[in-house]
Amino acid sequence: MHDSGSETIVSVTGGRVRGVTRDGISAFLGIPYAAAPVGPARFELPTRVAGWDGVRDAVEYGATCAQAPCPAPIHALIGSDGVAGDDYLNVNVWTPDVGGSGLPVLVWIHGGAFVRGSNAPPTYSGAAFARDGVVMVSINYRLGVSGFAALAGAPLNRGLHDQVFALRWVRENIAAFGGDPGNVTVFGESAGGMSVAALVASPPAQGLFRRAIMQSGNGIGVAEAADAQLVAAALGERAGIAPTAAAFGELGPDRLCEIQNAVAAELMVNPDPARWGASIVGRGLGVMSLFPVIDGELIEALPSDVLAAQPDRSVPMLAGCTAEEFRFFTVPAGVAADITDQTLPALLPRYGVDPAVAKVYALNRPGASAADVFNAIITDVLFRDDTMRIAESVAAAGEPMYVYDFAWRSGIEGLGACHVIEVPFVFDQLAQAHRLTGPNPPQSLADEVHRAWVDFATHGDPGWARYTVDQRAVRILDAPASATVSDLRMDELVALRASRTV
């Protein structure tokens, strides 16, 4: 008989919340972990949520930070987020045992290039993690102008401050859901993966989690403060106001989105370092305009440099990429069709790569098109190169380090093993992702990948060989069978590193 659900009430910071228990899993959705950041408070540090009387319903997903819909080709694959409302600094919690204790905890940080996304897509449901004995939390944080514009009179990295604040909320409240505040693993993908790298390296985040999982991230996606101010100046120009927190605090969320989108489009069309700053163009690669900034507090330097220089910052990590990340950005948009043997040599220097490196990648991929070679190179530039640098640093620090390469290729023509493809496997939510995976994704691979994440969160071992300084083991996650190999495509990374022009 299907369980139609029963009410469950828990006390958290702010007051009591009512969730729903169904089929042995209790879900609490849209719980505010900080005060609503609206008006001038949009550009202030997060503060404790105001208390409420009685019992607050936590049965529907909460509001999301203002954002524009994804571009149409991406929207077709993964949808867009956008629920209006003020209380958009909220968390969702799934637990198998509200009355229990000592359960492992996973805290999810969503992706979206720091300008989009939320904790509410069905693919991010924590139900399967709770089914398998893990308390899962998914967080929202400020995005775009609200979270990352370098405005005068406002602290930098407000979106990252939100993440730290949410992790503190987890430490204070997770025991009420049966979780162990001393066994928290933070995990995230894309911008969420970059956030994980920043948090591992960040002094204020030390001690808020025991382990970390970085999916399709890097530790280089941070801007210099002076360059971020150039972007803020452009935002102010577009809005006809000074680039200050006071002036921007007068604008509504729709107007903020409009300005943000216009500046992002201008940057993509004309990624001129003289206008935007070398770190915005070089580290955002013309794709990101609003992202974390070196502030000397949360972010002292490039997170991957910090981890290399300060071994004590390392924690046990699981990290990896998909084998063909960048196809997600070029194939659906039709850009891949314009990359030819003639245009490739002109494209690569825009990403700081000597075109000569293309020969190494092409030799390893007989019959590959120029677009295939381009996507392989930029996958490494944006994701794999720095993921492996972080793996080398964590392993050298003596911490357990596990690396994966997600190689299963989507059933959707041309996507391959693209960005985001591993996410529904991690969450064991394949039924929610057929627009991305195609109609018949292998459940056996979801069983394996999801179990690896559960095991890592529970006891720190996903079930394959550690990546060490001497034994550079990488788990290739694929169907019908996965395999562990050493030095995966290292010849390409060596050639790429030698070819970098920036």
The active-site residue, picked from 324, 325, 392, 448, is 325
Those residues with Cβ within 8 angstroms of residue 459's Cβ, 6 or more apart along the chain or in another chain: none
Rounded (10°) CA dihedral 102, 106, 107, 112: -170
β-pairing verdict for 179-189 and 317-322 = unpaired
**CA angle centred on 169, ends 166 and 173, rounded to 5°:** 145
The backbone torsions φ and ψ at residue 181, rounded to the nearest 5 degrees and listed phi first, read -65, -15
How many CB atoms lie under 10 A from the CB of residue 247? 16
d(CA 195, CA 211): 14
Helix, strand, coil % over all residues of the chain, rounded to 5: 40, 20, 40
β-pairing verdict for 179-189 and 135-139 = unpaired
Those residues with Cβ within 8 angstroms of residue 168's Cβ, 6 or more apart along the chain or in another chain: 208
d(CA 9, CA 18): 4
The active-site residue, picked from 110, 161, 419, 450, is 419
The active-site residue, picked from 26, 138, 190, 202, is 190
DSSP string, 9-41: EEEETTEEEEEEEETTEEEEEEEE-S----GGG
β-pairing verdict for 483-486 and 55-57 = unpaired
d(CA 46, CA 89): 9
d(CA 445, CA 477): 8
Catalytic residue flag (residue 190): yes
Q: What are the CA-CA distances from residue 139 to residues 29, 76, 93, 183, 299 (Å)?
A: 10, 24, 9, 17, 20
Say which amino acid occupies 320: G
Looking up tokens 């029963």 gives: 6
Q: What is the DSSP letter of 457?
A: H
Using DSSP, state whether 58 is helix, strand or coil. coil
DSSP string, 129-174: HHHTT-EEEEE----HHHHH---BTS-S-HHHHHHHHHHHHHHHHG
Q: How many CA atoms lie within 13 A of 233 on its CB side?
A: 9
Q: Which of 289, 113, 290 lies closest to 191 in space, CA to CA?
A: 113
Strand partners, 214: 188, 319
Catalytic residue flag (residue 419): yes
Show which residues are catalytic. 190, 325, 419
